Chain A
């Protein structure tokens, strides 16, 4: 059976399994969920090893007719880009399950529902990256909002209902714009060789469009993705959603779901609308740079640790977007790697922030103080995650962030220069909460917080390991990413700028 389909089926089967376990056997449910997600992760890793990184075509391809009269297929396949993101998703899910072992219990519904939602979401996370049929992609893109919506609204904290609604409405709005564009594409494909949603065939449709049409269709896709990977000024749903969701949900939201946006920019915006992408590049680069700086400033000004992390993500997504539209191999590979790394560093930050918040009963930064003395392991975990977030060399994010900056600089030096100021702001937005929450005297209310237990340590350790290992040795990922990035740019007709001075003389 096809590896990707298997990976998508497993969580569904797992959720059915959980559905038959009685609701009161919470432990059994959790164990089942963990086992299933681990199994998926193992499958994911095996897929990774079976992947031929030299081949730039889609691999593990499967295509089954779904709605033939519309030319819709269930078609999956991965290249380096999607493989990396799928790997990230399947690795993060068991970590989320383990790290948020008890977060299902304060919700409106039972733990059972929580894990069913998580597993369904996992299927969709794999599917959304694996889909090579635009319609299938869209279906999953939209449908995955629903489990997240219920996860935030049902198990979150604070003003969770409002946050969930805002998240859903924003996303739906973007999704509907994308639907309009997809319909446009579909109609154009119908007039030029028969209705299809196959991404390979659709990627030739730009030859049949006027530039206005192409620009409009591009915008439909791009706005949807810009909402998903929140790009200024479409970001205002994120802080609320991330802060209100359970830490696990927020990890999946920021770490995986938002990546669908940046993933989509590469996979769809660039591939389907190469000319429009060129047209809009200046605007998008500008927005990305604004996001970087703006997100950083808002993170500095944030008083809530979860919101802070959400704002840092806005900044990071700015980097990713910038790298994508820089149209250089460094930018592209950097962005793809950045997606992976951001998944893990944000996961670490959010998981630890979640632990802090659940122990303290508050996520206000001001409520913490001197945790380093009380809970050294937790504090260290937060610190390392923070360092990764500010792209400290030696940790994974640095490689990707630097690649993005270098890749951007060769084509858009001004943007890169402004974006680089973001690294100073990054130091501020990480060190301010570190100083306030971890350092300083232990403030009242924090004296007796327990440090991480074994389960939590086991959950956070692999994240830390990935963060550090990839900082020193990113080659395994880059080897997979590079051919894909190069291929995409080649198809787009972009070549890296030559070094200006050595070329001149």
Chain B
């Protein structure tokens, strides 16, 4: 057997490689740099890596090839858009993560111990979150462009492992945070096992582990579809788990609530883009020809997800949990884009993911700012009267909520419109109706929060809004601006997506 020397297209892999390099440098800094300078150098490296990665991506935005990494990476328009979205969201989220108030001083210390107190007094910081975040981002960048199942699996784990860890790093309510990490990890690993089994069956079905190989088998398979469908089902469990679709959603409220808010924002936004990117790629590229078999199930899951997320969110009392359920509902809406299985569905999904991701980071950014003496205030009842105390902040939060609710003149509306029209165009009337109804339900709890902030008198319980750091301010401002601009004049982005978004096989 002749050894084929591997050839990698480094330009196309550069975005990922840069991020990985940044992460490695970060690890080295952890190892060798003096503690005092770690934070600033980490922040710098991280930002630099992300921006450089974005720039590298920009360089190759018009290229597309299946040979970027020996067939393991499909570099195409849609991939570029997913990666760009992830990077933008990541940059915004890094500003939040940089606010170390969110993180425990010393992860190894027992909550409530002297050691922890001392660590806080010594102003210790878990600067490892920066390289961890970069690793996660690298995984996320890889996930939607992976074109064979190994890469897909490795990317999945690569984006998950750092998130499992970081979910447990909250500064306050550490027991909850650690619990979140444990739950996220156990359930994540559980879902990964299904994912892996799915890979096994897809491989068994097609004899190939590349997406295009599977597609060929789907088109021209000689046997029956049992192995294919088992593979689709099991791999879907893993993927739907990541996006939080019912009934694989259960982790998300708990983890969203327990994790440090900055991480919650990051993972809610970026993971969703990455995971949906992968879902879209797999279903569009590999499974498209078997659509009549999986589509009904996907429609049902989408509907249940929308309705469940919206209905349960109504009763939530904690802002992060509410946003978690809201993100479940949004996962349902996004599944409509998968079901659409058309170019317009893909475009709509990308727009929706970007718009939703940016708004989510912004919303969680605001959540980090509402605090009392013991940390963030999640209880919605204590958010009442916020509009009086900090009108600007409350208005911005209201803007994000309106975007989530899909009110016109916000990005959420354009997203919702385009994704539902795509779904309806491909014949899914039920999705359209369910989407509209659950949007109506969802509107209720978004508006309830607005009412709380603006129309209820504040309770004097020490809840206050801290003055945001410059970085947090940037995140929130940019998110709000993007949300608004994409609501008012989305044409440039939509056009760009329309000209760019394609999957190559």
Contact = CB atoms under 8 A, between A and B. Distances in A.
A187 B454 contact: no
A28 B207 CA distance: 78
Contacts of A160: 455
Contact of A67 (B439, B444, B451, B490): B490
Interface stretch (B68-76, B118-126, B223-231, B419-427): B419-427
B11 to A, nearest CB: 29
B176 to A, nearest CB: 31
Contacts of B489: 66
Contact of A68 (B387, B388, B491): B491
A376 interface: no
B410 to A, nearest CB: 9
Contacts of A187: 421, 424-425
A183 B417 contact: yes
A165 B446 CA distance: 11
Contacts of A70: 417-418, 494
Contacts of A140: 408
B421 A176 contact: no
B491 A164 contact: no
Contact of B402 (A146, A154, A169): A146
A179 interface: yes
Interface in A61-120: 65-70, 108-109
B403 to A, nearest CB: 12
A227 to B, nearest CB: 12
A138 interface: yes
Contacts of B498: 69
A173 interface: yes
A108 B454 contact: yes
A66 B408 contact: no
B317 interface: no
B417 A179 contact: yes
A52 to B, nearest CB: 32
B300 interface: no
Interface in A174-188: 176-177, 179-180, 183-184, 186-187
- Name, among B418, B425, B456, B498, the residue most crowded by chain A CB atoms within 10 Å (CB to CB): B425
Interface in A109-162: 109, 138-143, 145-146, 150, 153-154, 160-161
B408 A138 contact: yes
Contact of B409 (A143, A168, A169, A183): A143
Contact of A173 (B388, B435, B440): B440
Nearest to B385: A108
Given A180-B432, A180-B433, A183-B432, A161 B391 contact: no
Contacts of A432: none
Contacts of B388: 108
Interface in B464-505: 489-491, 494-495, 498
A190 interface: yes
Interface string A181-208: 0011011001000000000000000000
B256 interface: no
A164 B424 CA distance: 32
B453 to A, nearest CB: 11
Contacts of A168: 443, 447
B440 A68 contact: no
Nearest to A113: B391
B290 interface: no
B143 interface: no
A172 interface: yes
B35 interface: no
Nearest to B491: A67
Contacts of B420: 179-180, 183
A70 B424 CA distance: 15
A180 B443 CA distance: 15
A173 B437 CA distance: 8
Interface residues of A, number: 36
A155 to B, nearest CB: 11
Contacts of A150: 454
B425 A139 contact: no
B490 to A, nearest CB: 6
B354 interface: no
Interface string A236-271: 000000000000000000000000000000000000
Given A139-B413, A154-B454, A183-B417, A66 B425 contact: no
A153 B455 contact: yes
B451 A65 contact: no
B436 interface: yes
B170 to A, nearest CB: 33
A437 to B, nearest CB: 30
Given A109-B391, A172-B443, A187-B425, A161 B491 contact: no
A175 to B, nearest CB: 9
B407 interface: yes
A154 B408 contact: no
Contacts of A154: 454-455
B491 A176 contact: no
Contacts of B443: 168-169, 172-173, 176
A289 to B, nearest CB: 28
Contacts of A142: 407-408, 413
B399 to A, nearest CB: 10
A183 to B, nearest CB: 5
Contacts of A67: 414, 490-491, 494
A109 B394 CA distance: 13
Contacts of A186: 421
Contacts of A176: 436-437, 439-440, 443
Nearest to A139: B408
Given A68-B491, A138-B408, A164 B421 contact: no
A167 to B, nearest CB: 10
Contacts of A173: 440, 443
A172 B443 CA distance: 8
A391 to B, nearest CB: 37
B252 to A, nearest CB: 25
A135 B448 CA distance: 27
A387 to B, nearest CB: 37
A7 to B, nearest CB: 19
Interface in B282-317: none
B417 to A, nearest CB: 7
B495 A69 contact: yes
Contacts of B444: 169
A499 B456 CA distance: 60
Contacts of A138: 408
Nearest to B494: A69
Contacts of A165: 447-448, 451
A464 to B, nearest CB: 35
Contacts of B405: 172
Contacts of A108: 387-388, 454-455
A68 B418 CA distance: 13
B28 to A, nearest CB: 46
A142 B433 CA distance: 18
A283 B245 CA distance: 41
Contacts of A109: 391
A446 B448 CA distance: 39
Contact of B436 (A68, A153, A169, A177): A177
A139 B411 CA distance: 12
Given A139-B409, A153-B455, 8 more contacts: A67-B490, A141-B408, A142-B413, A153-B451, A154-B455, A160-B455, A183-B424, A184-B424
11 contacts: A66-B491, A108-B387, A138-B408, A142-B408, A150-B454, A153-B451, A172-B405, A172-B407, A176-B443, A179-B416, A179-B436
In the A-B complex, the 4 residue pairs with the closest CB atoms: A161-B455, A139-B408, A142-B408, A180-B436
